[in-house]
Structure formats: C-alpha cells, structure tokens
Amino acid sequence: MSRIHAIVNPTGRDGSVGKRWRKILAQMEAAGLSVEATLTERVNHAAEIAWNLRSRYADLPADERPLVVAVGGDGTVHEVASGLRGGNLVLGIIPHGTGNDYARGHGYPMKNIAASIEILKSGTDRSCPAYRIEAFAMPAEGKYPSPTNHQWDGKPEQEGRVVRWVFLESDGGVTAQVSRRKLYQGKWIRGTSKYTYLGVRAILAAKKREMWIKIDDDDPKIDCCDMYALTTCETFGGGYKVNPGMHVGRSKGSLIIAGRLSKFQMLKLMGPLKKGKHVGKWGITQQEFTRLEIRPLDQSGNPLDQPSGKPYITQSDGEPQLQAPAIFDWHLDQLVVRGATSIPNQP
C-alpha cells in the first residue's frame, strides 16, 4: 500500500476543500493509499508542515518515505513546495483551488479526483526548476503578515531583503495589484468573478510607472513596465495562455513583459484570448532568461537600492507581499514532482 502524507488547506477554493476533504480522503483510501493528513491553520503553515516532514524522513530509504500531497490550489502547492525544496521527498497534488495552474502544468486533470489519485499512484517523477526572488517586504495586510525570511527559503544575499522561491509564477505591476487587492477587497465574491472585479478596479486605478530593468547580461534599460510575468510552465491568467509553450523541462525561464498599455488594452488582456495572441501585440514580448532585476527610480530617473514611496508589487506564487527592488534567478533541479507521464508542451 502506497504511503501518502496529505497537507490540506481547508480554506481553499473559498472553503470548499474543507467541506469535501472527507470524500477525497475516502476516494484515496479506496484506491489503496495509506493516508496521513494534516490540515493547515494559517498562512505559511503548509510550508512548516512540509519542512518538518522533510526533516523527519531525511535519513530514511526511499521506500520508507511518503509521497507528500498538497490538497488545494496554487497557493497551497507553493507553500508545500517551499518546505520540500532541496530535500528528498516527492511532491504530489490533488488540485482543488481556483487556478490550479501548477497542477495543470504537470498533467493533473482539473475535475477528476480519481484520475489525480491514479497519477499519485503511478505517475512520473520529474526534477523541476524554480525562481529565487530576493526583494523587499510589503506591509502586513489583514490576516497576511509582512513577509519575513524562513529557514526553508534560505538567507538573503543583501541585508534587509526577503527570499522566496517561485515554482509556478511571479508577476508584477497591475497583475500583482490585483492579487494585493484580493487581501482586502471583493471578499464577498467567489470564483473567477472575484478576479474580474478586482482586475477592473486595479486597471482603472493604474498609473504609468517607469522602472530600471536588466535581463541577463544585457545593458539595463529604463522603460515603462505595466506588467511582467515569469513562469515555470504555461499559465492561464485572465483566460489566455501566459508564456505559451513553457514547461517544467525547459532549461531556461520564460519572461513576458508588457511595457506600455492603455487601460483598454489591459482590459482586453483579461478576456479569453487564444494561445499566444497576447505575445507580439501592443509591444508585449516573450523571451528566455536566467536573471532579471527590476528597480524603481528616484525623481531624477536614477535606480534605487531601496523601495520608493509608491511600491511596485511583486507576487510570488500568489503571495503579493514583496516589492522592488527585486532580483529573480532561475535555478534547475529544486524539487521533484510526481505528475502525468505526458505533460503539456513537453516533446
């Protein structure tokens, strides 16, 4: 019988995970899985649980270690992956959030628990990349504390900054403003309608912002940066495919930058555009990279080493709690994930 340690976010998908967990557990046990479960109670609790599991099983042989399964959405997966990164435990997923993009990138079905369980039993293990972000903390907002450094993320290279690892996506600009607003606006709205509501509000309030941007060894440039997104696999923001063709087997990261968009163009990006249609439109670019640095400017146009009075928010796998100056580095082989034998976009 296969051993599972499930880390369950009962508040996922507006509380539906907690309501349905008993049925999911019954399905897992009926499929022959031996399941131990821990339910999360607060922000970063899933990462703490995963870190403790990693320590508990560090010295045991592979056949005595459990598969650690994140039950929830992309935020839950991010926390569990953060705690496991660099260790010898394998991550599995029961997708049960709003987006589930990381699960989708590993071939998990979105509405078929039985098929996801089959992947947990007999799927393919892959060594996967992640981005390391070093940036400054945003203030606390509601139940979300101002971020601090965790032992599972490692220490920052520059004093005063916070480190996070991103396994799916980091974005900034207007899209990060949407995620930040989610912490205090639209709490009465459920599902994807919430993001539409918050997106419209963020876009209508958006103002142009020039930033200092340096990609790999290219010369730095100063340009407007209405939004950017870097991902490990193809994601589905706003209904269209972000970083089309990207998958966890690629040797470099993939970066989308939208430099200067009108409010009308931003609203159009929220719609269900077809694959790749956003790249090349309105100056939106996509490129491979391994290092990105973004810094705000002072009133004279010089890059700053500290945040400006107006924060440029950076989101790390759904946590909109960091701000520029920020450095993003691409790292291979950070986490082993069990997924489907065939995954999207991989030859």
Tell me if 344 is assigned to some domain: no
Tell me if 143 is assigned to some domain: yes
- The pLDDT assigned to 276 comes to 52
The answer on 161 and 106 residing in a single domain is no
Domain harbouring 255, CATH code: 2.60.200.40
The answer on 228 and 265 residing in a single domain is yes
The answer on 312 and 171 residing in a single domain is yes
Q: Which residue has the tokens 């990261």?
A: 253
Q: How far is CA 222 from the centre of its chain?
A: 27
The answer on 212 and 106 residing in a single domain is no
pLDDT 10s digit of each residue in the chain, 347 long? Answer: 589 999 998 876 666 777 889 999 999 999 999 999 999 998 889 999 999 999 999 889 988 999 999 999 888 999 999 999 999 999 999 998 777 889 999 999 988 999 999 999 999 999 999 999 999 999 998 878 899 999 999 999 999 999 999 999 999 988 888 888 888 888 777 766 777 887 888 888 888 889 999 999 999 999 998 889 999 998 876 555 788 889 999 999 999 998 888 888 887 776 544 445 678 888 899 999 999 999 999 999 999 999 988 899 998 887 888 999 999 999 999 999 999 999 998 88
Tell me if 339 is assigned to some domain: no
**Which element (helix H / strand E) includes 12?**
helix 12-30
Last residue of a domain, one of 63, 93, 123: 123
Per-residue burial over 266-297, b = 16 or more CB atoms within 10 Å of its CB, e = otherwise: bebbbeeeeeeebbeeeebebeebbebbbbbe
The answer on 156 and 91 residing in a single domain is no
Domain harbouring 114, CATH code: 3.40.50.10330
CA angle, 99 then 80 then 5, to 5°:
110
The answer on 163 and 79 residing in a single domain is no
Distance (Å) of CA 69 to CA 37, 93, 95, 194:
9, 5, 10, 27
Instruction: Say if residues 329 and 158 touch (Cβ distance below 8 Å).
Output: no
The answer on 20 and 165 residing in a single domain is no
The answer on 313 and 180 residing in a single domain is yes
Q: How many domains does the chain have?
A: 2
CB atoms within 10 A of CB 179: 19
Last residue of a domain, one of 89, 123, 157: 123
Contacts of 301 (CB under 8 A, 6+ apart): 210, 222
Instruction: Say if residues 47 and 83 touch (Cβ distance below 8 Å).
Output: yes
Tell me if 340 is assigned to some domain: no
Tell me if 257 is assigned to some domain: yes
The answer on 137 and 82 residing in a single domain is no
Domain, as residue range, for 92? 2-123
Q: Which residue has the tokens 């039993």?
A: 121
Tell me if 347 is assigned to some domain: no
Tell me if 171 is assigned to some domain: yes
The answer on 99 and 134 residing in a single domain is no
The answer on 149 and 39 residing in a single domain is no
Q: Is 308 helix (H, G, I), strand (E, B) or coil?
A: coil
Tell me if 37 is assigned to some domain: yes
Last residue of a domain, one of 97, 123, 149: 123
Query: Distance between CA atoms of 118 and 92, rounded to whole angstroms?
Result: 11
The answer on 157 and 283 residing in a single domain is yes
